Structure formats: structure tokens, C-alpha cells
Structure 1
Amino acid sequence: MKIAVLAVQGAFAEHEQMLEELGVEHFEIRRKEDLDRNFDGLILPGGESTVQGKLLKELDLYEELKKRIEGGLPVFGTCAGLILLAGELSNDTGVGFGTLPVVVRRNAYGRQLGSFTVEEEVRGVGKIPMVFIRAPYIEEAFEGAEVIAATGGNIVGVRCGNQVGISFHPEVTGNTDMHRYFVEMVRESIS
């Protein structure tokens, strides 16, 4: 099993560290040639979703990754990664891949000063620390999108088939449970 991490901007190194801790082979996607390598899953990290979306198109990565996600490639989007997967944004006209049947609100908790940490239950994972940094939340989840996490009355995690999108940053907590959940999802998809 090999997992690719989108590494054009954002917290990709932290996700790679989590995969290292789990002993999972991985590599970075930075340019179109990287898509020639075989990979069984994809992580879309937190960061700046507008910049990531722009770079995906400028680097000619967008169409091929979108096609693979639509084809069932397991994908794990955190924070900006969730925004890239969202079918619709309630407070922005931009759309990323648009493959996850949810409506997402960007920067829903306000600016950097509105960042916070909680411990909540994630269905299929257990209770874990959740770090929210200029985070979005999910305003609406449509048919096929199972809500797997919520806090303060807001949806902060969904799974739809082989796509997982979360509002928080598990890669900065030192807790590998969310990454283990994704790795198991990838393992099931290739078995």
C-alpha cells in the first residue's frame, strides 16, 4: 500500500509524519509527473484552500486527481482538503473537486484567534483530540454522506464511500487514530 500526499501547500509534512508513525509507505504529489507513480490513497492537507485549488490547476494536477477520486480512489481531506472535496461552499463561489455531497462554510469559526481544541467522538475511530484552525464546518450533508463527527452542534466530519472529509487537524495532535482509520479504509479498498 502506498499513499500520496498533496504537497503543493499546507500541512503536508505533518500528515507524512503520521504515516511514518504507522509504517505506511507514502510520497508527495508536487507536479504532474508524480501522478505517474502508483498510489492507493490520497491525503489533501489543511492549508489555504484557494491557493491549493489554484496550484492544482496551474500544475495540471486537478483533472487527473478529480477523475481518480470520482473513480473511487480513497481520499482523506482535512480542513482545506475538506473544502477542496466539498460539492458546494455556502460562503464562496469557488469549488474544488466537488466530489463530496456536502455544503461547507469556509472559516466558519472565524480568524486564527478563533482556533480551539476539543475532544469528541468520531464514529468508527473513538474519542480523539480535534484541533480547529481557521476551520470550516459542514452546514449540510446530503444522501450518501454519513456524519462521523460533530462538535458544538456543527458537523465536522463525514464519510461518503471512499471519501473522508473533516474540519479539524488530526496531524498536529500526535494522535494517529484518524490516519489509522483512513489507512484501514485504503486497505479495504485494495483487498
Structure 2
Amino acid sequence: MNSLIGVLAVQGDVREHARSLESLGAATRLVRRPEELDGLDGIVLPGGESTTMDKLLRAFDLRDPLRERLQAGLPAYGSCAGMILLADRVLDATPDQQTLGGLDVTVRRNAFGRQVDSFEDDLEMPLVLGEEHEPVRAVFIRAPWVEAVGPQVQVLGTVTTGPAAGRIVAVRQGSLLATSFHPEVTGDHRIHEYFLGMTK
């Protein structure tokens, strides 16, 4: 039985995540309403604009049901804005911004700068990919980074080059996975494959 993975579809790069998951044999469902959470084996929170996504989650009466599912153990993967949605604490947030929470991390919005400051880096991620692996080509677009992690959080990847070297950009805590970068835009499906393994 293939996993059924929801992709939060209120805003952001929804189709790219769905394509990555489907290329690995997963079934996908776009999620805009609370009832579309039923029966999911996991959910992806895509990149986009975190404040807009927060407002739309509330407008669609989706925030509280999704938060309850996450607290009950529904596996989730958040990329970029999705990482912000999963974080317990956000720096440089708008005054009314809320998150779903669950990840004991502090993230900084737009930490790498504006769209013009987007960049790419090759990340070593042995906990995800094994010791013998090609690095992940990570694409950062107005991305957050993780400034602090709690004791239960595994750091899976850090920036290797440039002024942001050493910054945490991939984390896992139990059933929650988050990256600052966008694996759905590179054609490298290994992060999605790792997440599917978490949903089994």
C-alpha cells in the first residue's frame, strides 16, 4: 500500500512537491479543507510566504485541525516557509504571526536576505543519506535558518560555504522534518524519499 501524503495547498510551490512525491510512488492529496486531512500518512508544508500561509490556514479553518494532527503524531515535512510554520519560535515575525509549532527550534525569517540574496550550496547530510552519498544541492530562496535547537532536535544539515557557513538548515524532531531549502526544485528526490520513510 503506497503512502498517501497531503500537500498543504493554500499557497506556495505545491505542485513541485506533489510531483516529487509521486515520482517516488506515493499518492498525493492537495489539502485546503479540514476534512482533507483524514486518512493521510503524512503532510508536506511547502515553501511560500509564511505570513500569508498562516492567515490562509486560519481563514480556511485549517490551522487548529492540522495542529491537532501534528500533535497526535502525523509526520510532516516543512520546506522554507513550511519550516517556519513548524517552528515553536520565530524571529523577525510579523506581530500577529502564528505557527503550528511542534519543532523545538528558533528560526529567523528571511535570514539569508531578500530574493536577490538567494543562493545554492552543497550539503553533506549523512544522517539522511548515509555516509557514502553525493551531497544535496540545496537551493535557498529568501530562506530562514535555525538559530537555536532544543535537546530533542537532530541537526541534519548546515551551510558549508560563505558568510552563513555553519548555520543550521535541516532538522528533525520525531515525526517532524524541516529544511530551509527547496529540494522540490532540483530534481533530487532524496529528501522526499527520507520523509516517506518516516511515514511508514
Give the shorter-chain TM-score range. Answer: over 0.9
Distance 1:184 1:96 in 2: 25
Note if 1:118 corresponds to 2:131.
no
Identity %: 45
**Residue 144 (structure 2) aligned to one of 136, 144, 169:** 136
Q: Which amino acid in the other structure matches residue 154 of structure 1?
A: R
Question: Partner of 2:75 in structure 1?
Answer: 74
1:36-90 deviations in whole A, cap 9, x for unaligned?
x311100000000001000001100111110110111100000000000010012
The offset of 1:179, in angstroms, is 0.2
Unaligned runs of 5+ in 1: none
Unaligned runs of 5+ in 2: 160-164
Q: What RMSD in Å do the two structures reach over aligned CA positions?
A: 1.0
Higher mean C-alpha displacement, 25-34 vs 11-20: 25-34
- Equivalenced residue count is 186
Greater per-residue strand proportion: 1
The offset of 1:33, in angstroms, is 3.3
SS for the counterpart of 2:128 is coil
Distance 1:51 1:91 in 2: 15
Distance 2:36 2:74 in 1: 16
Distance 1:79 1:58 in 2: 21
Runs of 4+ in 1 over 3 A off after TM superposition: none
The offset of 1:157, in angstroms, is 0.7
**Residue 173 (structure 2) aligned to one of 154, 160, 171:** 160
Q: TM-score, normalised by structure 2?
A: 0.90
Q: Which amino acid in the other structure matches residue 128 of structure 2?
A: G
